[in-house]
A and B are shown apart, each in its own frame.
Chain A
Amino acid sequence: MKDLSTFSQLLRISPIVLVAGWALLTLLVESFTRNKESNRSFVGHLTLVGLSATLLLQLLLLGKMGPKAISLFHGRVLMDGFAMQMGMLFVVGALLTVLLSPSYLEGHDIDFGEYYPLLLFSVAGMMIIAAAGDLMVLVIGIETMSLPVYALCSSWRRKAASQREEASLEASFKYFIMGAFSTGITVYGIALVYGATGTTLFSDLVALGPEAATKGLLVVGMVMLLGGLGFKVAAVPFHMWTPDVYQGAPTPVTGFMAAAVKAAAFAAMLRVFTYGFGTKELVFGSNGWASILAVIAALTMLLGNLTALWQSNVKRMLAYSSIAHAGYLLIGVIAAGNPSISAEARSAVVFYLWAYTFTTIGAFGVIAWIGKREGREREDVDDWAGLARQRPAMALAMTIFLLSLAGVPPTAGFFGKLFVFKAALANTGLIWLVVLGLLTSVVSVYYYLRIVVAMYFKDAPQQEPDIQPMVSATSRVALFGATLFVLLVGMYPTSLWKHAAKALMGL
């Protein structure tokens, strides 16, 4: 195939370039205005402008070029419907995070100048992941995404050292060490795949056809990739880092990790497994990944939901809940392995990710919002007692997010589950997984309701000074927008589905 001119190739990936460039710009602006009072909010606003511009650019490109797939840079980058849709999801997730961040950072007196540039770099990495047409590009994307997030986890910096700062640093360190291991495994897996086939291009892997399943080395490499990416999506047994990291990181960053980073990891999974390793023999054959992933998904749902039952820290509870959600999403990934319905199943996963992103960032946004008590964050379930009395609107928003996480209609989460499970049930072999998923989601209702119980059924302690919420106009906008989105999609999912249905992969 004749390649496009360099300019038009760059045009196609301009959103990625814009985000990365904007990250550099904010970094410079930040360092030059470091000592000024208005510095932080200014960088925040600048980031908002950049992300909004990116979103506009993406919409423009999508409108101009449509969801038709284009292979760029000799197939190393695939700008198809999937890449564009996921790119928009990442940008929107980052937008919500940036809207929620300023009040939190100021409220906790966190002084970490590189916060916004790092966020932008990470988004650029995610967009590379979604558009990767080659295993090496994928690794570059994963690292571009992960390294800034490691740093963001430790962004809890203050003039005076505290326990909280140590927790933040510990989280960051843990995440980094574990992440480095997983990257190592991923890269080793890629090396094996290369050794077996002589290529790292997805299109070449696809071209191998049924023959691929006969290559032992390839299968071993594939399984290693499964482990490496399983770490990123926090699937059991690669989930150990999640609770500590999610708890230790600043809350908006946690929301960003639980939603956008996870979505990017799922983009990688879909790209690698349902496209690169998507031939029937590699999926459902005796060495196929579907059976392994099914076991992983089952364990993930079970362990995530059951462990969450015992948590009293809301952030930790939601961390386990995010593990459980990875399990549900994995069901969608397995369903997408079936070539006859893979387009639909992929769209279902994308739909789920949209719903999940808004819900999760919203939920963590409320956690960030309700502020601190006696110098610490209000993270315990008991800290939420009587919130419905003091802040009915926030309590209502949180309830809606929690119901959406539990998959209760009429919220976006319900339709997310419905789409994914519908796709999964089209493969008769997955009924048990779906049943397990639904049963564990009943379990999840229990711990989500614990927060609702605290908010609505319990009274705040008497000596409670009123809540010191981390309010700002931007966080209000973000939370209101997320609530509205969750409810509207719950009542009228058609338009989002149409959007997600354009997430076609491949040429």
Chain B
Amino acid sequence: MILTAVVLLPLLAAILTLLLPREEKALIRNFGVAASALIFLVSLVLLWKFNTKSPDMQLGIQLAWVKTLGISFHMGVDGISLFLVLLTTFLTPVAILGAGGAVTKRHKEFVAAMLVLETGMLGAFVAMDMVLFYVFWELMLVPMYLLIGIWGGERRVYAAIKFVLYTMVGSVLMLVAIIFMYLRFHELTGVYTFDLLEWKRMILTPAEQFFCFGTFALAFMIKVPVFPLHTWLPDAHVEAPTPGSVILAGVLLKLGTYGLLRFAMPLFPYASTKLAPYIAILGIVGIIYGALLAYAQKDAKKLIAYSSISHLGFVVLGLMSLSIQGTEGAIFVMIAHGITSGGLFLGFGMLYERRHTRLMSEYGGLWKVVPKFSALYLVIMLGSVGLPGLCGFVGEFLVLVGSYDHHAAAVIQGVPVTLPHPKLMTAAAALGVIFSAVYLLVMFQKVFFGPVKHKINLSLRDVTSRELGAIVPLVVMTIALGIFPSPLLRRMEPAVKQHLAEYQVKYKASIDVKKARRAKVLSRKALRGLASKLRTIKPADRQKLRPRRRGKAAAAKASKGKWMKKTFPSRRLGNLPGRGARRRGLKGSAGRRGLGRGRRRAPIIRPRGRRHGMPQPMRGGR
């Protein structure tokens, strides 16, 4: 109920905004800020009601929407989406408040568009029904298009249309895959449904997985954007007004990585495992390429846009590493990047309002003129660089740990190996961290240090109280998340573990399906017989069916991990293998630690009810 309220309240507020008198600009703006701030407060209830220990979808709602097609109004949050929801509700009031002089006309439409956009984003984060997700996904498109197109810069029409077309190309192909899966699910079970949790029980054949994963991944990778698909982003960012940029960088891009994590990977584990090396490499290329291009920019907004490409490369790498640290780190980077890049855009927007230029060479020496603003901007900039103690550090560090230790983690957790040269790849990604320090510090230096080069800059006003209201929350969050990451990580952990455990089970089941096809059990009828048989096999038995070599390092590793567990009570690092374990354990399973621990406590397929429990793998295909 509370979740539905959070998602639909912005829409209600948008309608109310449209009823306000057009002339009352201040009233409209204040109403927008107040309404979205109120929604943020309501969304905090989610945090309060959220069960930290549970890995499942919570606070959900499920109503029939289009019964004939099996479309339901199904929403829920888990540890993965909870903070993205909060990030959205947090950034929207900040963005509306920070709009300032970037929006000089049609205030009413602006506030309404921002609020509709908020509903679209929130809905996409919590939708558990594929059509519902698609509807919200497309719903985001229209207000963002209007934001860029109406309030944007000179080439706004070009940028707006490019943004829409890029996104649409990906999403319609995804729609084909959605319908395809829907029909396949019906073929296997006789039930028409678009419900994600139901779909997770289905295992497609490798070829089908490649097709579906390809379309899903394309849609999401355009949104992220991953390296060769990124060209719409700089245009959109440069032309978008400040609040548009804040939301675009802060939340919209995360929908791409969120989609990979929520839909593409769990639904098609086989294909995503096989393609993960390439996607991870694209992520790394994005990290370095984005950083290099950012360094080369003269236009500060473009610099920040390219830095987004670089930072989101870490998210992709973390997701593809399939380790607990990597995945948690990826989610953390999403949150942290939302705050810091939102802050960077917001802060620069404030400068832009004063000077109406985005060129860094037009500034210089601003620290002397606007010291308060400079100090605040410094914190956000350092947060984006990834200075330890600020929010950018935690996520990127976890991602690097996860990818560095990928092989060992894969052995321990039983997930497939996806990164061919983890250490080399981590080293390459770590370069990106250094680069990001370079380009952001250079930017800061150009803008804030040195002598005041242009006389006009001497008369710049320092931050107004309105601007303080927008930027201070971001600064506070930058510091707070850097010092106290564990409240977030603790809540993510169960869901991430479950994600990886499901992934592993489904991956193995996909291999079974593949083997069955190889072994000439090709007829669909035979395969279906196999599927129904396998469905009833408990996972413990399946372990017996497929004996695996076991490393003897489990005990050694367990004792090694103990001190870490004491130091890091979240047990996150407790899963790290010791050195010896890695050396010896690489050949076989290093025991049942880590994810396995959870398995020992309870079987992987927990009889917790059909919808919210772990997936009952169900195979099929032809």
Chain A residues packing against B (C-beta within 8 Å): 403, 408-410, 414-415, 418-419, 421-422, 425-426, 431, 434-435, 438-439, 441-442, 445-446, 449, 453, 456-457, 492-494, 497-498, 501
Contact = CB atoms under 8 A, between A and B. Distances in A.
A442 B164 CA distance: 9
Nearest to A392: B109
Nearest to A426: B183
Contacts of B131: 418
A439 B183 contact: no
A457 B179 contact: no
Given A425-B176, A431-B176, A457-B149, A442 B135 contact: no
B138 A449 contact: no
A445 B168 contact: yes
A414 B161 CA distance: 20
Nearest to B156: A457
B26 interface: no
Given A438-B176, A442-B165, A494 B68 contact: yes
From A419, A446, A494, name the one whose CB has the most chain B CB atoms within 10 angstroms.
A494
Contact of A439 (B66, B139, B157, B172): B172
Interface string B442-464: 00000000000000000000000
Contact of A498 (B68, B142, B168): B68
A498 B160 CA distance: 38
Given A438-B175, A442-B165, 19 more contacts: A403-B142, A408-B142, A409-B135, A410-B135, A414-B135, A418-B175, A421-B176, A421-B179, A431-B180, A434-B179, A438-B176, A445-B164, A449-B145, A456-B149, A457-B160, A492-B66, A494-B65, A494-B66, A494-B67
B172 A441 contact: yes
Interface in B139-180: 139, 141-142, 145-146, 149-150, 156-157, 160-161, 164-165, 168-169, 172-173, 175-176, 179-180
Contacts of B156: 457
Contacts of B142: 403, 408
Interface size class of chain B, counting residues whose CB lies under 8 Å from the partner chain: 20 to 34
B157 A457 contact: yes
B75 to A, nearest CB: 16
Contacts of B169: 439, 442
Q: Sorted from nearest, which 10 A-B pairs have the closest CB atoms?
A: A438-B172, A409-B135, A442-B168, A457-B149, A425-B179, A494-B66, A409-B138, A442-B169, A497-B68, A408-B138
B134 interface: yes
B314 interface: no
Contact of A442 (B150, B157, B172): B172
B150 A457 contact: yes
A493 B180 CA distance: 20
B146 A456 contact: yes
A453 B135 contact: no
A437 to B, nearest CB: 9
B182 interface: yes
A282 to B, nearest CB: 25
Contacts of B66: 415, 492-494, 497
Interface in B158-212: 160-161, 164-165, 168-169, 172-173, 175-176, 179-180, 182-183
- Interface majority SS on B: helix, strand, loop or mixed? helix
Contacts of A425: 176, 179-180, 183
B150 to A, nearest CB: 6
A355 to B, nearest CB: 14
Contacts of A422: 69, 179, 182-183
A449 B68 CA distance: 32
A468 to B, nearest CB: 23
A493 B65 CA distance: 9
Nearest to B132: A409
Given A425-B176, A442-B172, A409 B134 contact: yes
Nearest to B187: A426
Contacts of B168: 442, 445
Interface string B60-79: 00000111110000000000
Contact of A453 (B134, B161, B176): B161
A415 B66 CA distance: 10
Nearest to B134: A409
5 contacts: A422-B182, A425-B179, A446-B161, A456-B146, A492-B66
Contacts of B183: 422, 425-426
Contacts of A493: 66, 69
Nearest to A399: B142
A501 B164 contact: no
B139 A410 contact: yes
A418 B139 contact: no
A410 to B, nearest CB: 6
Contacts of A431: 176, 180
Given A422-B182, A494-B66, A446 B165 contact: yes
Contacts of A403: 142
Interface string B318-334: 00000000000000000
Interface in B40-60: none
A494 B169 CA distance: 28
Contact of B176 (A409, A414, A435, A445): A435
Contact of A501 (B68, B141, B172, B176): B68
B205 to A, nearest CB: 13
Contacts of B138: 408-409, 414
Given A409-B134, A425-B176, A425-B180, A456 B165 contact: no
B272 to A, nearest CB: 21
Contact of A435 (B69, B141, B157, B173): B173
Contacts of A494: 65-68
Contacts of A441: 172
A457 B158 CA distance: 11
A348 B63 CA distance: 24
B17 to A, nearest CB: 13
B161 A409 contact: no
A416 to B, nearest CB: 13
A493 B134 CA distance: 16
Given A408-B142, A438-B175, A456-B150, A445 B68 contact: no
A418 B70 CA distance: 13
A410 B141 CA distance: 12
Contacts of B175: 418, 421, 438
Nearest to B192: A422
Contacts of B182: 422
A456 B168 CA distance: 20
Contacts of A419: 69
A268 B161 CA distance: 38
From B131, B141, B161, B175, name the one whose CB has the most chain A CB atoms within 10 angstroms.
B175
A426 B185 CA distance: 12
Nearest to A493: B66
A68 to B, nearest CB: 21
Contacts of B172: 438-439, 441-442
A421 B180 CA distance: 10
A435 B175 CA distance: 9
A456 B147 CA distance: 11
B164 A438 contact: no
B211 to A, nearest CB: 9
A415 B150 CA distance: 29
A360 B145 CA distance: 23
A434 B179 CA distance: 10
Contact of B179 (A410, A418, A442, A453): A418
Nearest to A443: B165
Contacts of A449: 145, 161, 164
Contacts of A457: 149-150, 156-157, 160
Contacts of B165: 442, 445-446
A435 B172 CA distance: 8
Contacts of B164: 445, 449
B180 A453 contact: no
Interface in B318-354: none
A98 to B, nearest CB: 32
A439 B165 CA distance: 10
